[in-house]
Amino acid sequence: MKRKLKGWSLTSLILSIAFSLQAQTKVEGSYTTVVTGFDWGPAVNKVILSTSIPMDAVAAQDFKVMVSRSSDIATIGPNSSSGERVVLSAFASDGTGTPNSDGEFIGLALAVAPNNPLGSPIQYYRGEGGGGNIWIDYKMTVVHLPTQTTWNTEGNRIHPILDEFDTSGTYTHSDGIALTYGSYLPQKTSSKIPLIIWLHGGGEGGTDPTIPLIANKAYNYASPDIQRHFKGAAVLAPQTPTRWMHGVTASYTRGQEDDIYHKALMGLIQKYVAENPQIDSKKIYIGGCSNGGYISLKLLIENPKYFAAAYISSLAYYDEFVTESQLLKLKNIPIWFVHSQDDLTTEADKTATPLYKRLKQIGSKKVHYSLFDHVIDITGQYGGDSYLYNGHWSWVYLHDNQVFSDYDKNPVLINGKPVSIMEWLAAQSR
């Protein structure tokens, strides 16, 4: 027998409450997610709401944003799987989240930080045969508290700068090795433009080129701040399905044996250059971090006359495996190494430091080396000098063009003028 409550059955009462709550909650429609790359990785830093709420009623404290993060592949801990995001500001905006007093949308700026995983739409996972960063299922529920208007369906996603890349590139070499890649071409250029090649680290392998471009902000080579030094440059970001250091017999090579990818990678680069005749073949620059630093050095050794210059962070190629004959091939190539002394993954004293010293000893006048004590918060927003990232992350300095000094701590000069690493790179030509 059903329990009665003042003339109502319990079932009827529950249904009545549910219908009442549904009536009070107005589902307004879909939201647009904005994903931006930061020094520590990508984060959802804005949400854009289509709305009929009067703009003069918009205030940050009137909104509540709840998120859930899930994946069928990666393990996400309970402290980073769901929770509330902090709303910094609410404003009238256009459809891209740009503040506009005449805009028809509400933009919410959300707090992000390197130690707040709730903001991240990617997750690192470990599995059989390796692991890496992947996109996860990132859902938000936004509520305007005064009216109970709710947005809980993602209608669109915006990735500033990354969306300007073509991430559909594929290449299969004659040996059967298949690679994917992302690429960028500036809209307005002179007749010939340089090519900046970026080769990702060990956590960005796979078949989705958006990951190596945004997982550590590599897309920034297409940003106006860096592009201006080159007066417009193409950007190419190849991706390996596993890792660049995949040895021919071992799971990893640090230079003691060949890898399985360098021939296919060189084939991809040559094909891309051939298909884009606006690229200046005398101004092709190659760089990468960790795994990508390894393969960058490998390509320089195998093709010493092809590249105009190299910029390499957290080098994973061990100096002990660079022979004297290979060293001579590197002698006249402009190379700028970037490393952190507290890098425990690719130790400076086994990689970049001894290699730099050997190049100087044989008379190289074109090699530079910036060795940092730590990798810090260069934005100053999270503690500045007192906030230390993982020492392996010296690419933070590269992507933000915050590298200026040589190994002796003196500035690198071009025509007597101190320059940044990107200014230096843009000045190199074969």
For 252-261, b/e burial (b = at least 16 CB within 10 A) is ebbbeeebbb
For 12-32, b/e burial (b = at least 16 CB within 10 A) is eeeeeeeeeeeeeeeebeebb
Encoded tokens for 361: 């000893």
CA distances to 104, 142, 148, 187, 189 from 145, in Å: 20, 9, 5, 44, 49
Amino acid (1-letter code) at residue 325: S
* Nearest CA among 142, 334, 308, 172 for reference residue 233: 308
Helices then strands (H, E): number in the chain?
A: 9, 22
Q: What is the pLDDT of residue 177?
A: 97
What pTM value is reported for the model? 0.92
Encoded tokens for 21: 């709550």
Report the distance separating Cα 2 and Cα 294, nearest Å. 72
Q: What is the pLDDT of residue 11?
A: 36
Report the distance separating Cα 406 and Cα 183, nearest Å. 30
Q: What is the pLDDT of residue 178?
A: 98
Report the distance separating Cα 177 and Cα 259, nearest Å. 12
Domain parsing of the chain, residue ranges: 27-158, 162-426
Q: What is the pLDDT of residue 329?
A: 98
Residue pair 243/295 in contact (Cβ under 8 Å)? The answer is: no
Amino acid (1-letter code) at residue 115: N
Q: What is the pLDDT of residue 55?
A: 73
DSSP state letter for 413: E
Tens digits of pLDDT across the chain (430 residues) = 333 333 444 434 333 433 344 445 577 789 999 999 999 999 999 999 998 787 777 899 999 999 999 999 999 999 999 999 999 999 999 999 999 988 999 999 999 999 999 999 999 998 766 789 999 999 999 999 999 999 999 999 999 999 999 999 999 999 999 999 999 999 876 689 999 999 999 999 999 999 999 999 999 999 999 999 999 999 999 999 999 999 999 889 999 999 999 999 999 999 999 999 999 999 999 999 999 999 999 999 999 999 999 999 999 999 999 999 999 999 999 999 999 999 999 999 999 999 999 999 999 999 999 999 999 999 999 999 999 999 999 999 999 999 999 999 999 999 999 999 999 999 999 9
CATH code reported for the domain at 162-426: 3.40.50.1820
Report the distance separating Cα 227 and Cα 355, nearest Å. 30
Report the distance separating Cα 329 and Cα 316, nearest Å. 19
Burial (Cβ within 10 Å: 0-12, 13-18, ≥19) of residue 100: middle
Report the distance separating Cα 381 and Cα 156, nearest Å. 29
Helix H or strand E segment including 226: helix 224-230
Helix H or strand E segment including 301: helix 291-302
Cβ contacts of 24 within 8 Å, gap of 6 or more: 148
Matching residue, tokens 């040996």: 175
Report the distance separating Cα 162 and Cα 167, nearest Å. 9
Report the distance separating Cα 77 and Cα 306, nearest Å. 46
Report the distance separating Cα 353 and Cα 231, nearest Å. 32
Burial (Cβ within 10 Å: 0-12, 13-18, ≥19) of residue 158: middle
Give the total residue count for the chain: 430
Q: What is the pLDDT of residue 128?
A: 64
Q: What is the pLDDT of residue 278?
A: 95
CATH fold of the domain at 27-158: Immunoglobulin-like (2.60.40)
